[in-house]
Amino acid sequence: MTYTSINFIFFVLATALIYFILPWKKYRWTVLLAASAIFYCLASYKYAVFILFTALSTLLIGLWLDKVNTSSKALLKSKKGEWDREQKKAFKNKLKVKKRWIMALCLILNFGILAFLKYYNFFAGSLNDILGSMRIDFSAPTLKLFLPLGISFYTFQSMGYIVDVYREKVKPQTNPFKFLLFVSFFPQIIQGPISNYSQLGHQLFEGHDFDFTRFKYGSQLILWGFFKKLVIADRAVVAINTVTATAQGYNKYSGTTLTFTILLYAFQLYADFSGGIDISRGVAQLFGIDLIDNFKRPYFSKSINEYWRRWHISLGAWMKDYIFNPLAISSAFLNASKKMRGTKFGKTKAGAHIAKVLPTAFASLIVFLVVGIWHGANYKYVAFGVWNGGIIMLSILMQPLFDAVTDKLHINRGNFFFRLFQMIRTFIVVLVGYVFDVAPSFNQGMMTIGRFFTDQSIERGRAEIFKLGLDWKDYVLLLVCVVVIWSVSMIQEKHSDTTIREMLDKKPFILRWLVFFFLIMAVIIFGIYGSGYAASDFVYMQF
């Protein structure tokens, strides 16, 4: 049951009906839990054991951490007069180590499952390559492994929870069923957003009353998501899949076609992922639950750093909270910075800057390496991470140089054309990163970048582009959709304090309804659905 199927619509409506007519408000969360369980089992009942294990292990370890916290606090309280400062410090350090080990147990267990299922074959293959090149007669077996639905998303969400419990930012959940709902909430299980417990937990468990406005806004958001996914993403993906269908076939396309494919991919990926998130957020909103927004017009970003604050926001926030910040303030990184400051180079202006931002720069590189690997077990994703992390690292390290050049050229940073230049520059950097997403392998990604410069032929490109499964009418439709999305994004950018839905609500009734009417008809007529079309999975579902 995909989010864009008729069955899902009926499933959501039935769940909403039961949820709102249930007279005991405090138990309404059980309806969401039952719906989530049904949704998960219908999609992947064979692998439900994995999500159950994650939920249970995280819950128990969370409770264990809490117990350790509570008992140690009680002990500290009881020893208030007895222990001196040193004893207290020693106790706290010991406690910290103990808590870390408990947390690490949870992280190792759950990330271990994810890593095994997602990366075992990748590492086994790499190991075999290395051993082979060293002429060592050993071969790690490759296994037929399947990824349980949403494993990346629920694992990250659960591990975020355990870190928050460790940091005592949240009180642990004691009800296993409530916690299972937090881990498996059906609108977000396929592709996020990755929510944190303090933001989502209480919303799930408190019984919401039916609110017409929220229901209306939720439905409108779902409709917009359907438009993006069915009309744009699933249309564009036909051409992209044709180009990438086989590794050999991919090599035969001209640089022009490959450039076009990468551009199309940028559009398709945005429509697919943000469309899916709109559906998720819309469905949650029907029940009175606000999921965090995962996108903020990413292609309007003026730097790659900004892009990653606007794209897949929940993953970015997770990485920042649980990897970047701990790394950037880790003693190893801070010591390295300190050491550099003590050197001769560190005493120069440039050296001082580099020493100052070194922890941030390296932490960024590592974070993006993790982001790259998170996308998949393939060297091309490693390259994707290194490219993005490397650019961010360079931009942090060389910021004073860029500033100096900008000043020297007397460029007004607020100037429209300069901002436009920054946006286009950032978009190009993003596109280069996408090359590694699209290309079947790392080598082919590198080849594609080479072809950008050496194999441009409008004639060949034109001939090839119309053989990718889309005709000129489809391309015209996609172009119209680009204009629509761009216009909507412009409005959102200008009025970031409100939503388009709220703005539309203030417009005359006829105009409002015409907009929704045309949107519904556009989905019905131009959507890619029904038999004869294999419904495309959401791109981020595979991650």
Partner 1 sequence: MKKKLYITRGLKLLSFGLAVVLLTLLLQTFLLKRIDNNTMRMEAFYLEEKNTVDAVLIGASDVYAGYSAPYAYEKYGYTSYPYATQSSPANIVLPQIKEVLKYQNPKMVIVEINAFLYRDSELPNEASARMFADNVPRDSIWRDYLKDAIPEDKQIEYYLPIIKYHSSWNEYPWKIKYLNAELGLKQRGYSLFRGYKTVANEFHCTTKIYNDEIKDKNDTLPLAVNGERYLRQTLEYLKDNNITNVMFMRFPHIVSDSAYNRFKRCNEAARIIESYGYDFVNLERHGDWAGIDVNTDYYNWDHLNIYGSEKVTDYVANMLQTKYGITKTELTDKQVAEWNDSVNYYHMIYNYSQEMIKRRLELGKTGNGGTTVSEDEKSINTIKQYARNHPGEGKYEVILDDEEES
Q: Which is nearer to partner 1, 141 or 530 (CB)?
A: 530
Q: Which is nearer to partner 1, 361 or 528 (CB)?
A: 528
Q: Which is nearer to partner 1, 234 or 437 (CB)?
A: 234
Q: Which is nearer to partner 1, 27 or 517 (CB)?
A: 517
Taking the complex as a whole, the smallest distance from the CB of residue 218 to partner 1 amounts, in Å, to 14
On whether the CB atoms of residues 165 and 172 are closer than 8 A, the answer is: yes
* DSSP annotation of 194: -
Binding site for partner 1 (CB under 8 A): 6, 212, 471, 473-474, 513, 516-517, 520-521, 524-533
Q: Which is nearer to partner 1, 145 or 524 (CB)?
A: 524
Q: Which is nearer to partner 1, 236 or 358 (CB)?
A: 236
On whether the CB atoms of residues 201 and 170 are closer than 8 A, the answer is: yes
Taking the complex as a whole, the smallest distance from the CB of residue 509 to partner 1 amounts, in Å, to 8
- Rounded CA-CA distance 151/140 in Å is 25
Taking the complex as a whole, the smallest distance from the CB of residue 2 to partner 1 amounts, in Å, to 14
Taking the complex as a whole, the smallest distance from the CB of residue 12 to partner 1 amounts, in Å, to 17
Pure H helices in 398-457? 399-408, 416-438, 442-454
Q: What angle do CA 139, 143, 144 make, to 5 degrees?
A: 155
Distance of CA 392 to the CA centre of its chain: 18
- Rounded CA-CA distance 497/2 in Å is 32
On whether the CB atoms of residues 140 and 130 are closer than 8 A, the answer is: no
Phi, psi for residue 148 in degrees, rounded to 5? -60, 150
Taking the complex as a whole, the smallest distance from the CB of residue 242 to partner 1 amounts, in Å, to 17
- 179 vs 63, 162, 204, 309, CA distance in Å? 12, 12, 10, 29
Residue owning tokens 């993790």? 370
Taking the complex as a whole, the smallest distance from the CB of residue 5 to partner 1 amounts, in Å, to 11
Taking the complex as a whole, the smallest distance from the CB of residue 99 to partner 1 amounts, in Å, to 52
Query: Which residues neighbour 375 within 8 Å (Cβ) at sequence distance 6 or greater?
Result: 381, 384, 385, 437, 543
Taking the complex as a whole, the smallest distance from the CB of residue 27 to partner 1 amounts, in Å, to 26
- Rounded CA-CA distance 271/268 in Å is 5
On whether the CB atoms of residues 222 and 278 are closer than 8 A, the answer is: yes
Query: Coil, strand, or helix at residue 233?
Result: helix
Taking the complex as a whole, the smallest distance from the CB of residue 520 to partner 1 amounts, in Å, to 6
- Rounded CA-CA distance 106/126 in Å is 27
Q: Which is nearer to partner 1, 65 or 465 (CB)?
A: 465
Structure tokens, 71: 């008992």
On whether the CB atoms of residues 407 and 423 are closer than 8 A, the answer is: no
Q: Which is nearer to partner 1, 409 or 510 (CB)?
A: 510
- Rounded CA-CA distance 370/372 in Å is 5
Taking the complex as a whole, the smallest distance from the CB of residue 10 to partner 1 amounts, in Å, to 12
Q: Which is nearer to partner 1, 204 or 522 (CB)?
A: 522
- Rounded CA-CA distance 530/38 in Å is 23
